[in-house]
Amino acid sequence: MPVLLFCLLAAPQAAIGISADEGENIRVYDDAGQSVVNIVSSTVSYDFFYKPIPSTGSGSGVIVDRAGHIVTNYHVIEGARELSVTLFDGTKFSAEAVGIDPGNDLAVLKIKAPLNKLKPVSFGDSATLKVGQKALAIGNPFGLDKTLTVGIISSLGRTMRATNGRLIRDVIQTDAAINPGNSGGPLLNSEGRLIGVNTAIFSPVSGSIGIGFAIPANTVKRILPELIEKGYVRRPWLGISGQSIDERDAGLLGLDSAGILIADIYKGSPAHKAGLKGSTRNIRIGNVIIASGGDLITAVNGRTVKSMDEFNEIMDSSEAGSTITVKILRDGNVRSITVRLEEMPRD
């Protein structure tokens, strides 16, 4: 032991060199890391005998203003009965969800914390991103808080499906390691500005293989004020449920075109008021049941639609209160119907 102690004391200390790139990483971590929080959600499920089973989950979030608002993923807080937020210095606060948008997998929480503990992140412009740019992710993977991973922007304009089935567009792909617990944390550029909110990975092993996805910062900026003010995102509503009909199915149904076959019309909806018609019967094609007899939507505002995803994309670019022109095929005849959209009901 004395010899070992002598060796430890006598060994020369190696000089530590930090490259410019490493210094940039350290600066971003030290600065933007103060905006990142750890979120713990408490949920209750029930077993077969209706006995309550409490459980907890964790994720990340990022402070966006001095009022104590925090952006995270909707799936981080989904079903939570209690929410707890831990700041960069270890202090904890209870939180409440003030806004949710399952369609973009985003949510806004609020905490009551002293101003000196609230350091909002700086927003970047995700529309100017280039493949190959450096990307840095800060979060709490597997409960390991304040973790930094570094990579690049691998691709842009990806689409992914939210938990409610809607497509999220313009998603950022990165190879910066994102693991369970990173969800809701920031994806940053080399200036430490928020360019995305980490939301998902593609992996066959439940861990990072270098394919991660983030909701673009510009989407966050666009819907954040509405989430804070209203608690939800105001979306236009036509009031139909439909089925995508491709060319093959159209041929089997005796239709002249692919499109959206209206299965149901919600009573009192804009579609109902405009006179659109839903299906009158169901038919079986192979192992699939398809609604039949309703209007077939082939275009909206002059844009051809062949799937519900394309239809939803057009709806998302419209506004409640605006009018759209729906081109339909009914009984072999082509018609154009003008519809005034309304705000989508929340219930």
Q: What is the pLDDT averaged over residues 68-92? A: 94
Measured CA to CA in angstroms, residue 3 lies from 8, 12, 14 at distances of 9, 16, 21
Q: Is residue 221 part of a domain?
A: yes
Residues 159 and 67 in one domain: no
Residues 215 and 261 in one domain: no
Residues 200 and 253 in one domain: no
pLDDT at residue 201 in the model: 76
Residues 216 and 247 in one domain: no
Question: Does residue 281 carry a pLDDT above 90?
Answer: no
Q: What is the per-residue pLDDT across 21-59, written as a single tens digit (0 to 9) for each? A: 999 999 999 999 999 999 999 876 656 555 666 567 889
Q: Cα separation of 159 and 75, whole Å?
A: 17
More confident residue, 203 or 194: 194
* pLDDT category of residue 172 using cuts at 50, 70 and 90: very high
pLDDT at residue 6 in the model: 35
Q: What is the pLDDT averaged over residues 111-123? A: 96
CATH number at residue 323: 2.30.42.10
Transcribe 159-181 into DSSP letters.
Answer: EEE-TTSPEEEEEEEE-S---TT
pTM here?
0.82
pLDDT at residue 9 in the model: 39
Residues 213 and 270 in one domain: no
Q: Would you state the structure tokens that stand for residue 16, as one six-digit string?
A: 């530590």
Q: What is the per-residue pLDDT across 314-344, written as a single tens digit (0 to 9) for each? A: 998 899 999 999 999 998 899 999 999 999 9
Q: What is the pLDDT averaged over residues 75-80? A: 92
Contacts (Cβ under 8 Å, ≥6 apart) of 222: none
Residues 246 and 339 in one domain: yes
CATH number at residue 112: 2.40.10.10
* pLDDT category of residue 286 using cuts at 50, 70 and 90: confident
% pLDDT > 70, the chain: 89
Residues 225 and 132 in one domain: yes
Dihedral of alpha carbons 151, 155, 161, 167, sign = positive
More confident residue, 44 or 86: 86
Last residue of a domain, which of 201, 230, 259?
230
Residues 183 and 216 in one domain: yes
> Domain range holding 149?
126-230
Q: Is residue 15 part of a domain?
A: no
Out of 17-31, 80-94, 206-220, 261-275, least confident range:
206-220
Question: Does residue 3 carry a pLDDT above 60?
Answer: no
Residues 205 and 256 in one domain: no
Mean pLDDT of the chain, nearest integer: 88
Q: Cα separation of 192 and 28, whole Å?
A: 5
Question: Does residue 280 carry a pLDDT above 60?
Answer: yes
**Residue 180 · residue 141 · CB < 8 Å:** yes
Q: Cα separation of 294 and 308, whole Å?
A: 15
Q: Cα separation of 184 and 53, whole Å?
A: 25
Residues 318 and 260 in one domain: yes
Q: What is the pLDDT averaged over residues 1-18? A: 46
Q: What is the pLDDT averaged over residues 288-313? A: 89
More confident residue, 147 or 54: 147
Compute the C-alpha angle 140/144/150, nearest 5°: 60
**Residue 295 · residue 277 · CB < 8 Å:** yes
Last residue of a domain, which of 169, 197, 230?
230
Active site positions, annotated: 75, 105, 183
If one counts the domains in the chain, the total is 3
Q: What is the pLDDT averaged over residues 288-310? A: 89
The amino acid that residue 18 corresponds to is I
Last residue of a domain, which of 117, 143, 164?
117
Q: Is residue 137 part of a domain?
A: yes
